[in-house]
């Protein structure tokens, strides 16, 4: 653990002033062990990458050179004397001003208590007396949001920081925040707007690494590899060891995705060797990553060997390091992957003990996700080994784990909503504080001008009116932004209500197959359902997705429903040839509830076999029509068959859809229209739902 702390680098912030006059000194040369290098700016401030134990050298023509050993990452103040002074050069850490003490406190709680950190930043902003201090406070605030994965808020606050003071490091952070928020084009633009000639060597390495990450995400792999190699060349030239390891690993990943396995293997071997020379945690991280590469390419023996080595090293790390369940470096995950590798080789005898170890570790760490996967794989292993009794017992445990996981996920959704609400409230208070301070300062300046310039009172009044207009405009913008934030929160809340309902119905279907001892059908259905669930979760955070994606989801979902009720209805999905399907967007999971209603409340109760038709046609270049028609028993007859609880649940589900459509239309100017009517006048009247989509 001590070795990890010594190897961890951080940004040292400080300033250089003349000891007697306290005036800032610009262009002072600051270097670390003859490697990293920077200069102080016009305010005498500097930032430099270093780690505990490094020696700072502060040199400038006309002053005595100062040497200082880094003890931690607190802000430092360097006092220097002129060369003519007979005394030795003086270096000492001054007691920070209240603002800096508050900022340091915010930084201390950044990774452990987001709300407390934001509270310190709010206090710091109330005491800020310069744009430079404002910039630093908003940068730390954005860092808090980055750590807690509130990337949209991080983006906003990095922008405010840059408005107050332009720093290359903050520009790089902003580009990374866009990347984390999956705004890849904005991230690319942010990187391209940076003047790389003005960056330090370390920042250039980060710059090219960031560009490589973005191009890799948008699957321009050749450009990604080119940028990674540029960053690697700079890191190797200036001995930036951690980045040399990281970039070798990322180049290996990019080559692997390109299908160039020989090149990928070469760079992964480099990263593995380099990581072994760093701290233990970094070394085992790289072993796990290379093991994943071996798994992708079915080199199971090499994968198993690496993971067994990793398990030994993780066991040592756990004695003095807390490893959370989200980390790849957990014993339960590595044991599961070893068991899976043996399973892929059909070595069931060796697969079983590792899967059992994974389950035991997962239970002790309360890691239901890994336990679910390990128990299911254990069931498959017993099944393929011909041990049906053990396989069935493991599958029952799998079902129980899925149920427990579902409950836990509901709790986590509630906790996340509460956390987001608290964070949003604190951000709103900071926004209000900034507006109030701007108004207070403006009023103060106005009163000073009135006392000094009595003859210009008319102009002062005019200025006051103008100020009120500006304030009103700012308040209007703030209210508009708040309304948008509330709408987005409402959309997230509605989506979070829809997905558990959808999962619950699907798992009921699996349960019915299991109850009828149709294990093969249940496994097949569960496999298709997992594919659908993955796609649903990937789209769950988006307001709109391409219509083609929604059609693909509908095909998979309708196939699953037909799989269970094949004796109740047939279905068809028709897309007219003239539909420009790639040009339209649709809210995710908008159509699925209507199909679910058609099957569960209409066709399921029909005496003879029914028909479900989904037709997509284009009315004009700007509108597409999606018609969902069924010849089921109809809405009125369906209501008469429901219990009071079912009526209430169905009403709530349809209300959620209406609320989603209303909010989306308010945000995107009537983009979606839904019309519901009977499908036919007599007999089983059925239902026809017509959804109209409009282009932006």
| The two structure tokens encoding residue 259 | 């299908």
**Beta carbons within 10 angstroms of residue 500's beta carbon:** 13
pLDDT at 312: 85
Residue 228 confidence (pLDDT) above 70: yes
pLDDT at 487: 52
Strands (E), 490-593: 545-546, 569-575, 585-586
Q: Bridge-partner residues for 82, per DSSP?
A: 63
Q: How confident is the model at residue 627 (pLDDT cuts 50, 70, 90)?
A: very high
Which of 158-162, 402-406, 531-535 tops mean pLDDT?
Answer: 158-162
Which of 195-199, 520-524, 528-532, 644-648 tops mean pLDDT?
Answer: 195-199
pLDDT tens profile 379-406: 999 899 889 899 899 888 888 888 887 8
Residue 96 confidence (pLDDT) above 50: no
Q: What is the mean pLDDT of residues 103-130?
A: 84
- For residue 585, the Cα-to-chain-centroid distance in whole angstroms is 23
pLDDT tens profile 557-611: 888 888 878 888 999 999 888 888 888 888 887 788 888 888 888 888 888 889 9
Nearest C-alpha neighbor of 313 from the set 343, 335, 287 = 287
- Is pTM beyond 0.75 here? no
The set of long-range contacts for 394-401, using a CB threshold of 8 Å and a minimum separation of 24, is 395/514, 395/519, 398/372, 399/511, 399/514, 401/368, 401/371, 401/372, 401/375
Residue 3 confidence (pLDDT) above 80: no
Task: Identify the weakest region by mean pLDDT among 67-71, 305-309, 362-366, 631-635.
Answer: 67-71
Cα distance between residue 391 and residue 513, in whole Å: 16
| The two structure tokens encoding residue 144 | 């808090």
Q: How confident is the model at residue 94 (pLDDT cuts 50, 70, 90)?
A: very low
Q: Find tokens 């989200």 and name the residue.
A: 326
Residue 211 confidence (pLDDT) above 90: yes
Alpha helix positions (H), 318-387: 331-344, 348-364, 368-384
* Per-residue H/E/C for 186-207: HHHHHHHCCCHHHCCHHHHHHH
Nearest C-alpha neighbor of 298 from the set 258, 358, 346 = 346
- Cβ contacts of residue 93 below 8 Å, gap of 6+? 74, 76, 77
Cα distance between residue 672 and residue 694, in whole Å: 6
Q: How confident is the model at residue 8 (pLDDT cuts 50, 70, 90)?
A: low
The set of long-range contacts for 208-215, using a CB threshold of 8 Å and a minimum separation of 24, is 208/234, 209/243, 209/246, 209/247, 209/250, 210/172, 210/175, 210/176, 210/179, 212/247, 212/250, 212/254, 213/179, 213/250, 214/179, 214/184, 214/187, 214/188, 215/188
Q: What is the mean pLDDT of residues 58-71?
A: 76
Cα distance between residue 394 and residue 241, in whole Å: 46
Cα distance between residue 22 and residue 77, in whole Å: 11
Cα distance between residue 659 and residue 653, in whole Å: 10
pLDDT at 190: 92
What value, to the nearest 5°, has the Cα angle with vertex 240 and ends 235 and 242? Answer: 105
The C-alpha torsion from 287 through 292 and 297 to 302, rounded to 10°, is: 40
Strands 37-39 and 29-32, by their bridges, are antiparallel
CB hemisphere CA count around 626 (13 angstroms)? 22
Cα distance between residue 146 and residue 155, in whole Å: 9
Cα distance between residue 234 and residue 240, in whole Å: 8
Strands 45-51 and 9-18, by their bridges, are antiparallel
pLDDT at 226: 93
Q: Residue 589, SS3?
A: coil
Which of 8-17, 402-411, 434-443 tops mean pLDDT?
Answer: 8-17
pLDDT at 5: 44
Task: Identify the weakest region by mean pLDDT among 98-112, 528-542, 625-639.
Answer: 528-542
Residue 668 confidence (pLDDT) above 80: no
Q: What is the mean pLDDT of residues 349-376?
A: 88
**Beta carbons within 10 angstroms of residue 423's beta carbon:** 18
pLDDT tens profile 490-499: 545 444 544 5
Q: Bridge-partner residues for 618, per DSSP?
A: 624
Residue 622 confidence (pLDDT) above 90: no
Q: Find tokens 């100020």 and name the residue.
A: 467
pLDDT at 501: 58
Residue 453 confidence (pLDDT) above 70: no
Report residue 690: phi and psi, to 5°: -115, 115
pLDDT tens profile 609-618: 899 999 999 8
DSSP labels, 97-154:
PHHHHHHHHHHHTTTT-HHHHHHHHHHHHHH--SHHHHHHHHHHHHHHHHHTT-HHHH
Q: How confident is the model at residue 654 (pLDDT cuts 50, 70, 90)?
A: low
| The two structure tokens encoding residue 224 | 């990604």
Q: Bridge-partner residues for 601, per DSSP?
A: none
Helices 331-344 and 368-384 meet at what angle, rounded to 10?
20
Q: Residue 483, SS3?
A: helix
Strands 623-630 and 610-620, by their bridges, are antiparallel
**Helices and strands in the chain, H and E counts:** 23, 14
Q: What is the mean pLDDT of residues 57-67?
A: 76
- Cβ contacts of residue 584 below 8 Å, gap of 6+? 546, 547, 624, 693, 695
Cα distance between residue 33 and residue 575, in whole Å: 67
- Burial classification of residue 469, based on how many CB atoms lie within 10 Å of its CB (0-12 exposed, 13-18 middle, 19 or more buried): exposed
| The two structure tokens encoding residue 672 | 């979606």
pLDDT at 474: 75
Residue 84 confidence (pLDDT) above 50: no
Nearest C-alpha neighbor of 225 from the set 208, 204, 245 = 208
Cα distance between residue 393 and residue 404, in whole Å: 17
* Domains of the chain listed by start with CATH number: 2-95 (2.60.40.1120), 518-694 (3.30.565.10)
> Which helix (H) or strand (E) is 615 found in, with range?
strand 610-620
Q: How confident is the model at residue 438 (pLDDT cuts 50, 70, 90)?
A: low
| The two structure tokens encoding residue 696 | 């932006």
Alpha helix positions (H), 218-275: 221-237, 241-258, 261-275
Nearest C-alpha neighbor of 52 from the set 21, 12, 88 = 12
Report residue 117: phi and psi, to 5°: -60, -45
pLDDT at 88: 38
Q: What is the mean pLDDT of residues 44-57?
A: 81
Strands 585-586 and 610-620, by their bridges, are unpaired
Instruction: Please state, rounded to an integer, the average pLDDT across all residues of the chain.
Output: 79
């Amino acid at each position: 653990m001590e070795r990890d702390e010594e190897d961890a680098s951080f940004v040292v912030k400080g300033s250089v002033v003349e000891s007697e006059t306290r005036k800032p000194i610009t262009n002072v040369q600051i270097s670390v062990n003859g490697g990293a290098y920077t200069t102080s700016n016009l305010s005498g401030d500097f930032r430099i990458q270093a780690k505990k134990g490094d020696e700072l050298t502060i040199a400038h023509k006309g002053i005595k050179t100062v040497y200082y050993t880094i003890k931690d990452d607190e802000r430092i103040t360097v006092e220097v004397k002129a060369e003519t002074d007979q005394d030795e050069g003086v270096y000492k850490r001054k007691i920070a001003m209240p603002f800096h003490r508050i900022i340091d406190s915010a930084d201390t709680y950044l990774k452990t208590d987001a709300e407390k950190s934001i509270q310190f930043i709010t206090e710091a902003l109330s005491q800020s007396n310069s744009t430079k201090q404002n910039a630093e406070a908003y940068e730390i605030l954005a860092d808090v949001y980055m750590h807690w994965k509130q990337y949209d808020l991080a983006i906003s606050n990095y922008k405010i920081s840059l408005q107050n003071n332009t720093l290359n490091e903050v520009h790089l952070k902003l580009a990374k925040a866009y990347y984390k928020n999956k705004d890849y084009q904005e991230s690319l633009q942010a990187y391209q707007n940076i003047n790389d000639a003005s960056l330090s060597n370390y920042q250039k390495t980060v710059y090219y690494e960031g560009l490589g990450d973005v191009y890799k995400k948008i699957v321009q792999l050749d450009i990604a590899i080119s940028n990674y190699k540029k960053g690697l060349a700079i890191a190797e030239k200036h001995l930036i060891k951690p980045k040399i390891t990281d970039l070798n690993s990322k180049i290996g990943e990019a080559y692997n995705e390109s299908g160039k396995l020989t090149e990928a293997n070469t760079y992964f071997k480099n990263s593995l060797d380099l990581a072994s020379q760093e701290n233990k945690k970094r070394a085992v991280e790289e072993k796990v990553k290379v093991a994943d590469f071996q798994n992708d390419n079915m080199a199971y023996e090499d994968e198993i060997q690496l993971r067994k080595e990793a398990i030994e090293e993780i066991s040592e790390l756990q004695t003095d390091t807390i490893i959370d369940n989200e980390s790849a470096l957990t014993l339960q995950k590595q044991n599961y992957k070893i068991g899976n590798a043996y399973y892929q080789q059909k070595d069931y005898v060796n697969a079983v003990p590792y899967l059992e170890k994974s389950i035991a570790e997962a239970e002790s760490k309360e890691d239901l996700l890994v336990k679910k996967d390990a128990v299911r794989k254990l069931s498959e292993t017993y099944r393929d080994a011909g041990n049906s009794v053990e396989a069935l017992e493991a599958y029952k445990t799998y079902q129980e784990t899925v149920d427990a996981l579902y409950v836990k996920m509901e709790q986590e959704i509630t906790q996340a909503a509460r956390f987001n609400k608290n964070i949003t409230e604190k951000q709103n208070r900071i926004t209000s504080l900034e507006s109030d301070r701007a108004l207070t300062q403006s009023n103060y300046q106005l009163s000073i001008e009135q006392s000094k310039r009595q003859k210009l009172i008319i102009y002062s009044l005019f200025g006051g009116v103008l100020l009120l207009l500006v304030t009103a405009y700012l308040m209007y913008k703030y209210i508009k932004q708040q309304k948008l934030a509330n709408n987005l929160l409402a959309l997230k809340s509605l989506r979070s209500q829809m997905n558990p309902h959808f999962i619950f119905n699907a798992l009921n279907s699996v349960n019915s197959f299991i109850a009828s001892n149709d294990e093969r059908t249940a496994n097949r259905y569960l496999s298709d359902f997992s594919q659908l669930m993955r796609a649903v979760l990937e789209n769950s955070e988006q307001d709109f997705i391409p219509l083609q994606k929604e059609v693909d989801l509908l095909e998979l979902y309708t196939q699953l429903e037909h799989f269970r009720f094949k004796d109740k209805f047939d279905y068809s999905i028709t897309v007219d040839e003239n539909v420009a399907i790639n040009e339209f967007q649709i809210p995710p999971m908008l159509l699925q509830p209507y199909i679910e209603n058609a099957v569960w409340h209409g066709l399921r109760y029909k005496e003879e076999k029914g028909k479900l038709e989904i037709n997509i046609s284009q009315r004009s270049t700007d509108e597409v029509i999606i018609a969902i028609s069924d010849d089921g028993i109809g809405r009125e007859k369906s209501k008469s068959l429901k219990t009071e609880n079912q009526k209430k649940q169905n009403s709530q589900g349809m209300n959620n859809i209406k609320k989603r459509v209303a909010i989306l239309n308010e945000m995107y100017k009537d983009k979606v229209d839904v019309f519901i009517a009977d499908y036919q006048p007599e007999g089983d009247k059925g239902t026809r739902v017509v959804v109209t989509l409009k282009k932006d």
